[in-house]
Amino acid sequence: MPRKNTRPVRAVAAHVLLQVSEQGQSLGRVLSAAQQQLANSGEGALLQEMCYGCLRWYYRLDAVVALLLNKPLKERDHDVFCLLLVGLYQLEFMNIPPHAVIKETVNAVLAMRKSWAKGLVNALLREYQRNAAQLNSDLEQDEEARYAHPLWMIERIKQDWPAYSNECLNANNERPPMVLRINRQQTDIESCQQSLQAQGIQSDRMEWVDTALRLERAVNVFDLPGFAQGKLSVQDTSAQLAAPLMQLQPGQRVLDACCAPGGKTMHMLETCIPLQMLALDVDSDRLLQVQENLDRAALSAELLVGDAAQPSGWWDGRQFDRILVDAPCSGSGVIRRHPDIKLLRSASDIDDLVRRQAEILNAIWPLLAPGGMLVYSTCSVFRQENEYQIKAFLHDHDDACASVIDAPWGHQCEQGRQILPDHHGMDGFYYARLAKNKLKTDVATNA
């Protein structure tokens, strides 16, 4: 039984933000633990809204606090700062009466044992309530506040995508849609839509992806008819492009080199049966989630704990016909789903990730059979992780050539294809497809 929480939900939200912003923990992990404590209160959804919203708008709310405070709070009072973010977010973005916001946020100070801050929180929230328009206007010249992103990220997106940077940054602050993937081994999209509609769940088909349905509103996955039986799964439209790009044929030996949490592994198995599928991941705990997903859909694959950059520790010497490298990346294309990325990523992380991606590509390439195909993907919008990575790889491997992805979605790059956040309603993703042992010239094929 989860331990019943006695702390006000706003104090819990402030503690979650503290763990993310100061301790560098992921929002998903700390929020899940906090929601378990609130399981009997009915306030789990409110907690989620406040935490996601505060992190989505963190850099703007932080700038507002800086304007309102006469002097910065001491480091030991960062929890009070986080509570101020919670209060400001409610006033600016939530449909809660201002008097209730101020009252409940001030009361949360007592649960945090910071009674000295009661007057401070009350005064700052009331001042914002009175002068919100002027304060927000004063922030327009501050890029971090205007875009609600760290400056290094703003500059990199502007450099990589100058014609689309505003749209990309604004899309990162939007609420993401809930998208389903239909298991066509068990059902069809028409039947699935009818089943959803019978439950009062409206959905729309997604252009170019015949397994995707976007819901008009997010729902609990366990309320989805057929979810428990594996008839459908939750997966963004852009991630559903990986399986078709693999051009799978029955009986092929396939490696999913960085497979957790298993959505793309499942989709490949749903797309083409039978496959000799090896699903590899360096994290044994995350492989348990992959197995749970496969079991739900009655799918089977060989699961193996191993580092894709160190095949000598796990490879049996048999080459693969197809390899998917869904590489570890910055996550800069999925910030609307994971707003904590804005705080948890730094500019120095990108160089480390690029090195890791190159290590994996170089180590995995010998495992691909002659005539085979490797699909490289990230959920990043940074060219350094994407087309520049593939360009460098092709330069160093004479037996590799890029297979042009001829598709109506995304932007054609010098190498591969890039989807920017909310382009065609999708998350930001990059795809490149590499063939082995062909002339080092682009080979046009259909997506």
Per-residue pLDDT band at 41 (split at 50, 70, 90):
confident
Reduced to 3 states, what is the DSSP secondary structure of residue 141?
coil
> How far apart, in whole angstroms, are the C-alpha atoms of residue 385 and residue 81?
34
Average pLDDT, the chain: 94
Q: How confident is the model at residue 185 (pLDDT cuts 50, 70, 90)?
A: very high
What are the structural domains of the chain? 9-148 (1.10.940.10), 179-234 (3.30.70.1170), 238-446 (3.40.50.150)
Lookup: tokens for 374: 């490797």
Q: What six digits make up the tokens of 262? A: 């298993």
Q: Are 434 and 398 in contact (CB under 8 A)?
A: no
The Cα–Cα gap between 235 and 108 comes to 37
Give me the pLDDT at residue 94, please: 96
Q: Is the pLDDT of residue 440 over 60?
A: no
- Whole-angstrom distance, CA of residue 131 vs CA of residue 402: 56
Task: Dig out the tokens for 297 from the structure.
Answer: 């859909």
230-248, pLDDT tens digit by residue?
Answer: 999 999 999 999 999 999 9
Contact 272, 248 (CB under 8 A): yes
- Token pair, residue 93, equals 């973005």
Residue 325's DSSP bridge partners are 376
| DSSP letter for each residue of 277-316 | EEEEES-HHHHHHHHHHHHHTT---EEEE--TT-GGGT--
Q: pLDDT tens, 136-167?
A: 999 999 999 999 999 999 999 999 999 999 99
Question: Which residues are CB-contacts of 444 (< 8 A; sequence separation ≥ 6)?
Answer: 403, 404, 406
Question: Based on the number of CB atoms within 10 Å of its own CB, is 249 exposed (0-12), middle (13-18) or buried (19 or more)?
Answer: exposed
pLDDT at residue 155 in the model: 98
The upper half-sphere exposure of residue 310, i.e. CA atoms within 13 Å in the direction of its Cβ, equals 6
Q: How confident is the model at residue 1 (pLDDT cuts 50, 70, 90)?
A: very low
pTM comes to 0.93
Q: Which of 288, 276, 264 is nearest to 378 (CA)?
A: 264
Say what the pLDDT of residue 287 is. Answer: 97
Question: Is the pLDDT confidence value at 437 over 60?
Answer: yes
Which two structure tokens, joined as six digits, stand for 137? 């206007």
Q: Name the E strands within 130-275.
A: 179-182, 203-206, 209-215, 232-234, 253-256
Q: What is the dihedral of CA 68, 71, 74, 80, to 10 degrees?
A: -20
Cα–Cα distance, 72 to 410 (Å, whole number):
44
Point out the residues that are catalytic.
379
Q: Give the separation between CA 64 and CA 85, rounded to whole angstroms.
A: 9
Dist CA 47 CA 378 (whole Å): 30
Helix axes 118-138, 98-111, angle to 10 degrees: 130
- The mean per-residue pLDDT over the stretch 191-202 comes to 96
